[in-house]
Amino acid sequence: MARLWRARWRHHHIDAMLCGSGAGWELTFLRDDRPLVVWKFGDRETAVADADRRLSELLRAGWTDHW
């Protein structure tokens, strides 16, 4: 599982994690290291694009990106 990005806000963080599986790709979002939601995609490019879109939404809401 590879982390695509981390967003921070105050003392909290959200991670986007990407993992390849036999049936496609799983994009997992963790909040403070606890699973928040898992989305399944047929290809890696779609999963990464969705993660990028969600990071943009978090940044607009006041979160900051952090590796």
Q: What is the pTM of this model?
A: 0.91
21 forms beta bridges with 24
User: Each residue of 7-18: pLDDT tens digit?
Assistant: 999 999 999 999
Alpha-carbon gap, residue 57 to 51, rounded angstroms: 10
Q: Where are the extended beta strands (E) located within the chain?
A: 2-9, 12-21, 24-31, 34-41, 64-66
User: Each residue of 8-51: pLDDT tens digit?
Assistant: 999 999 999 999 988 899 999 999 999 999 999 999 999 999 99
For the beta sheet containing 64-66, the strands, ordered from the edge strand earlier in sequence to the opposite edge, are: 34-41, 24-31, 12-21, 2-9, 64-66
Closest CA to 67 of 20, 4, 18, 23: 4
Q: Hey, is 47 helix, strand or coil?
A: helix
